[in-house]
Amino acid sequence: MTYRHDSADAAGVKRLRDKPRPASIAGGPAGPDVYARTRYEYELRDEARGYRRALHLHSPESFMRAYLVVVHEHCERPIGAKTCEHHEGSPVKDAFAGVGALIDAWTGDPPDCRRLRCLDDRRPRPRRPGPKVMSDRAVGI
């Protein structure tokens, strides 16, 4: 098994990190003597069994606007075959739960990505003006 971690640089351009990592966690001060987690990315690539699972909380403002959620998952089986860009996920409570989720994914059966709910299907689409259609009820026919 190998770990590969994609991230965005300061300009927001995705890149592959030089040293693969299974987890990336960031946070900041949330008050006096309080430190809060602001994002996480837990990533598993099981090359031997041919799948990728990832649990992410990043860019919460843009994800909330686009999907009405702040967390999501990625699932690829085989690796590189995406049936959906972002799957519905549950928040990961803390780093211990994140590592536990990776271990469960690694030691359990490979996932069936088609069974996961696709967030892209729920994404609000902009309304486009279309032709006005009159129903037979509207004109009293």
Per-residue pLDDT tens digits for 83-127: 899 999 999 998 899 999 999 999 999 999 999 999 988 765 555
Report field, pTM of the whole predicted structure over 0.75: no
Please state, in angstroms and rounded to a whole number, the distance separating the CA atoms of residues 103 and 115: 20
For the CA atoms of 56, 60, 64, 70, the dihedral, rounded to the nearest 10 degrees, stands at 30
Q: What pLDDT is stored for residue 130 in this prediction? A: 56
Q: What pLDDT is stored for residue 23 in this prediction? A: 80
Count CA atoms within 13 Å of residue 68 on its CB side: 8
